[in-house]
Amino acid sequence: MTETNKAYLFAESEPSEVQKNSLHKFIKETVGTDLEIVWEKSDKYPGGFALKIGEKIYDWSTSGRLKQLKELVSGVSSSDDIIPLIKDKLSDWTPAALAEEIGEVLTVGDGIVTIKGLRHATYGEILLFEDGTRGMALDLRPDEIGCILFDDDECIKSGSSVKRTGKTAGIPVGDAFLGRVINALGVPIDGQGEIVKEGYRPIESPAPGILDRQPVNEPIQTGILSIDSMFPIGRGQRELIIGDRQTGKTSIATDTIINQKGQNVICIYVAIGQKSSLVARLCNTLKKSGAMDYTVVLSASAADTPSMQYIAPYAGCALAEFFMNRGQDVLIIYDDLTKHAVAYRSISLLLERSPGREAYPGDVFYLHSRLLERSAHLSDELGGGSMTALPIVETQEGDVSAYIPTNIISITDGQIFLETDLFFAGQRPAVNVGLSVSRVGGDAQTKAMKKAAGSIRLDLAQFREMEVFTQFATDMDEATKNQLSYGNGIMEMLKQPQNHPYSHCDEVLMLTVAQYTRFKTVNKKDVKSFIKGALDYIKEHNSNLLARIDSTGRLEDIDKQEICRATDAYLKQFEKEHRQEA
């Protein structure tokens, strides 16, 4: 007799003949034919027994009855209705109403489990092993299922049982997560106790449709002058930060989070494969700046399994969607997606998927497109919330044409490229003006910023070109000298210390002062002190001007003239002081 012609009875004691006859009758009514009953001694079903027919288990124990009763009364609100319902159910009890699919572990290792059975399991469904370990179905084959584990696999062995839960992998959400550090499953890892959740969201969900979105036309200020003036970022945009290792990518993300203080923007920082010490340092920086109050840090560190690193960005995105769907603006940082792709490659190779270019699986593009497409500026009918994504990608020797960088560049709405040579030359942030771009452009700038920035990007591009041609020249005309002087002054002005973002008004004033003076009489080494002094002078003597720019978001011609007059007055004072020092 084959295994399919047997039904397995799990109970503490062997059934009597009367019980066997009842079971044979139940089996015939359930599957249409009689099966041989094989008794296996088990203490997992106290107060009753369980019957396994194929992949289904009919639980006739105390816990099974309680589970069914919970499902029965879940939709009943009044206690007066519950009691008669329970009495009626107990008077006509049958185990057929409760069935579970049970599978069997074939192989286990490196956080990957191969399971036989569970034919009706779905992609992304949570699976529960007999020791309580959780996993997620990631590879569905005709006869087997590939499952990634969220916990250790020490207690799982070949032959262990596993069952479906019917729940999609997700993360708890709520306002209580603000200011906390959690892992990819939403469990707090900062030692500050449990977090009260308000709901549960699946980590994978469809991106908003075209009609559910509205244009990206509201700026999200980074506080970094070089970015806000030349490569503006809008609410709902996806702007890639790309560059070699140790070129300041995370610093740009951190400064952007700090600059959201008082802007009513929720920030989520997702650390993928980072060292725990670096994450702790970032949390300390955010606390000192008062930014942790509106920030959630989700960490899947380098010590975590590839499975946790794989689900981390999706979990962070699900948490961001909770706030976005309530009409709030969210900024989410993925640091970084290169390590995320490497973690997915490891999982795919262990699942025996066919490797492609650089051993990545064929769906590595879809891996990131389905994540980044969830960033959007929702329509007013859906609350008008937004999710702005700043994914980070690490390059090797500045090669932006590598596999993963080109994939993500094609998905995002622009990139900020950080150049190694500029970084080591002291230009920080080391933004390369030629390779960086924002495809949203001036739509994501205030009218004041657009007017103040003017042609700064074009001026810098001409300066870089002129600098190359004139580095060996000994004799230059006056126009070339002025252009080089202005370019050098702009480069000095764009140098910005870490964790010191500028306000919108400060950026507008700095750009207007630079355009007006063009640094003709200011030495390169004095540019920073001149700009700082000019700002202080204007704030002291023209306080109404600052309030007007902040409230209206505009820079009128009369405002510009007022800034120029104040700059003239300060420039005379500045030159006098330097002549005296000389």
Catalytic residues: 439
- Which strands, in side-by-side order, build the sheet including 437-438? 181-182, 295-300, 265-272, 329-335, 386-394, 240-243, 414-418, 437-438
Among 324, 330, 332, CA closest to 383: 324
Helix (H) or strand (E) holding 506: helix 504-517
Cα dist from 580 to 105, 353, 527, 573, whole Å: 84, 74, 18, 11
Q: What does the longest C-alpha to C-alpha distance in the chain come to? A: 113
H helices present in 92-240, as ranges = 225-230
Which residues neighbour 156 within 8 Å (Cβ) at sequence distance 6 or greater?
A: 105, 108, 113, 129, 131, 133, 149
**Cα–Cα nearest to 449, from 492, 509, 496, 390:** 509
What's the CA gap between 554 and 549, in Å, rounded?
A: 6
> Cβ neighbours of residue 132 under 8 Å, at least 6 residues apart?
none
Q: How far apart are CA 531 and CA 89, in angstroms?
A: 80
How many other C-beta atoms are found inside a 10 Å radius of the C-beta of residue 216?
Answer: 23
Q: Which two tokens stand for residue 48?
A: 């009753």
* Helices 504-517 and 527-541: angle between axes, nearest 10 degrees: 120
What kind and span of H or E run contains 265?
Answer: strand 265-272
Q: How many helices (H) and strands (E) does the chain have?
A: 18, 20
SS percent in the chain: helix, strand, coil, step 5: 45, 20, 35
DSSP state of 195: -
What is the C-alpha to C-alpha distance for residues 9 and 289, in angstroms, rounded to an integer?
63
Structure tokens at 490: 């702009």
- Cβ distance 564 to 514 under 8 Å? no
Separation between Cα atoms, residue 65 and residue 542, nearest integer Å: 77
Q: Which amino acid would we find at residue 484?
A: L
**Whole-angstrom distance, CA of residue 538 vs CA of residue 223:** 20
